[in-house]
Each structure stands twice: as C-alpha cells, then as structure tokens.
A and B are shown apart, each in its own frame.
Chain A
C-alpha cells in the first residue's frame, strides 16, 4: 500500500468524517448497525480511492460512495423500531440550559423526521441541509436540478407539517 496515498486518504477522511457520521445516523437507528455501516463506508471509500478522479470535488465523491453504501446497507439491515438516540458524546457536549435542551429536542425531532423519509428523499435532504448547491445535489444523485428544486420544496413542506404537528 502506498504510504503517501494512504496518508492523503486518511487526512481527507478525517477532515470530512462528519459526512460519514451524518449519513450513518440518518440511515441506521441501531448503534451496532451504525458501526458496521461506518466500517463498510470506509472500506468502500478506500476501495474506490485509487479510481478517484481529482477533477471531482472530494466531498461529492464521498457523498456518492457514502450514500450508495448506506442505501444498499439499509436494505439488508433488520427493521429495528426505536427513537434515534443521540450519541453519548453528544450528551456530553450539550449544555444543560433550557435553550439548549429545547434545540436538542428539536434536533432529535429533525433526525427522526429525516429517518422517516424514503431513501432517496433522505439523501436529498441530507445534501440540502449540508448546504450543497442544487447542481452539486443533482450531480451526486443523478437527477436534474429542476427535479432537485421541486423535490426539496415538497420535502421541506412535509418536514414543516411534521414539526407543526408535534409543537
């Protein structure tokens, strides 16, 4: 294995590990499944790394591999119905002020509503919330920009309705 190649890969993964984490949390409820999915995504990233085209944006490539792995993995995972728990680390980080508790609850709800979306809608929303441009989302998903815009506005409407129903 080429050492500089490996180091570059390691560095890029480290810089963008939040992408992997968010994908895993959106597609897996069970912590065990999540860990397995994380390893699978890293393996798939490493496997595709040699073919990575530098003209591409690293995060675009990472989202493609991560989302494809997660959707395929999700199909095989067992259905385990439970509320998405925030990680222990999250709890350590969160301050216990009322304001933070409220936003923590809202965040949990948002994660729950995203989890309930269909596979492709979920991917679309993840990319949108991560502030990806419509053209980048279209490129990652393989659909048109017009379609991205239409779908996003529909999903946002659905999310807003879900929030109104619980608040």
Chain B
C-alpha cells in the first residue's frame, strides 16, 4: 500500500466521521457547566484518584511513624535495645517512603496535559516507576520485623531454638529482602515470581508505564542519533 493510498484511506475515515452522528459531545460539554458534574468528573479523573490514594497512604505512614516514635521514646532501656534499633530502622524506611509519596503528590499536581507528549508522559511514567523503587526500598525493612522482640537477656540464655529457628528466620528475611531489592526491576517483569508478586491492575499499569519509559528512552536516543546524522 502506497503512501497516497494510506492517506486517502484515512481521509475517507475522516469523511465518514463528518457525516456520522458519532458523539454526543455537545451534551457532555454542556454537562460540565454544572458544578456537580465537575466535581464528579474530578473525582473520576485518574490522576486525582492517584493523588488521593497517595495522600491517604502518606497520612497512614505519618501516623505509623508517630506511633513508633512514641514507643521508641518510651523504651530507652538496655533491655529494649533491639526494639529501639529495629523500630528506629523501620521509622527511617517509612520516613523515606512518606517523603517520596509527598513528592509524588506534588508531581501529580504539576503534571500538565498541555505539555508535549514525551515530556508529560515521561513525568507520569517516572511517577509510576518511582512507586516500584519505593516498594523495593520498603522491602529492606522486613528483617527488622523479626528482631524487635530480641533482648540481651534472651540471647544470653538462648537455647537451640533461638539459634536454629529465630536466627535463621532473620537471616532468611535479610537474604530475601536484599534479593528483592536487587531483582525488582522492569527487566524482570516477565519472570514468573515477579508476576505472582505484582499481579494486580495497579501493577499491570505500572508495567505499562515502565514499557513506555523504555519507549521514551528509545525515542530520545533515536532523536539524538538522527540529530548527529544530520550534522554530518
């Protein structure tokens, strides 16, 4: 099929659309006159939904950090040293997550659909892939959930169960969280374990975002290559 034929075909499509009563756009546009429907559409808007979800998670994170800090402040004794260290580490990871979430909310409000497609999509895709990054970081706190109940006295009098069960569980969690941190990457998105771990509509959309990031990178790379070629 030649270039002209392609364009002619597309023009015939355009003419069909001209003749057909294809969309009741007028009534939708008129609908947005009312404040109620604006509110409804705002509520339905995907990015607003994401911003609200992230705000709720950030608020929950702040509450969780506050609760842990309260417990830490009231546990400053030698006997509770493991609890203080473990909880402090969990607090640190959660502070990072809350900061990243707040940053995300700010980016969401900055996204302007009237920007160029590559620019706007890069922001949205980065936002989603950054969610994966923070997921990786949060996995690193897992081992500390298995150490907060240790006490120096318990270790001093530890029997075989401590060395054969408790310690191996902690090491196992250290190994698993480090492995996940290293391997949660879009390059592994086709692996079975990845699909089991992230099998939800949110993650599916995240994977699409990662593919788009790859596409944008290719677009930019080709753009630079084409620029160099034309300079020669």
Give residues in A with beta carbon < 8 Å to B.
1, 6, 9-10, 13-14, 17-18, 20-22, 38-40, 42-44, 46-48, 51-52, 61, 64-65, 67-69, 71-76, 78-79, 87, 89-90, 92-94, 103, 106-107, 110-111, 118-120, 123, 129-131, 139-144, 146-147, 149-151, 156, 159-160, 163-164, 167
Contact = CB atoms under 8 A, between A and B. Distances in A.
Given A93-B16, A143-B219, A17 B25 contact: yes
Q: Which 5 A-B pairs have the closest CB atoms?
A: A142-B116, A89-B20, A142-B118, A147-B223, A129-B10
Contacts of B204: 79
Given A52-B114, A75-B208, A140-B116, A146 B226 contact: yes
A10 B209 CA distance: 32
Contacts of A68: 113-115, 117, 120-121
Interface string B216-232: 10011011001101100
Interface in B68-123: 112-121
Nearest to B50: A76
A109 to B, nearest CB: 9
Contacts of B119: 142
Contacts of B165: none
Given A44-B45, A89-B22, 7 more contacts: A13-B25, A14-B25, A38-B25, A48-B114, A68-B121, A72-B121, A141-B117
Given A42-B32, A75-B212, A147-B222, A120 B46 contact: no
A110 B120 CA distance: 27
B210 to A, nearest CB: 10
B116 A141 contact: yes
Interface string B17-28: 111111101101
Contacts of A93: 16, 19-20
Contacts of A150: 222, 226
Nearest to A1: B33
A39 B45 CA distance: 10
Interface in B111-147: 112-121, 124, 128
A71 B113 contact: no
Q: Is the interface of B mostly helix, strand, loop or mixed?
A: helix
A67 B117 CA distance: 7
Contacts, number: 173
Contacts of B230: 146
Given A142-B116, A143-B118, A78 B201 contact: yes
Contacts of B208: 74-75
Interface stretch (B1-9, B59-67, B149-157, B169-177): B1-9
B120 A43 contact: no
B215 A13 contact: no
B25 A20 contact: yes
B1 A159 contact: yes
Contact of A9 (B29, B41, B45, B46): B29
B209 A75 contact: yes
A96 B117 CA distance: 39
Most A Cβ at <10 Å: residue of B2, B47, B219: B219
Contact of A131 (B7, B25, B115, B124): B7
Given A18-B18, A103-B9, A120-B215, A141 B229 contact: no
B114 to A, nearest CB: 5
Contacts of B220: 143
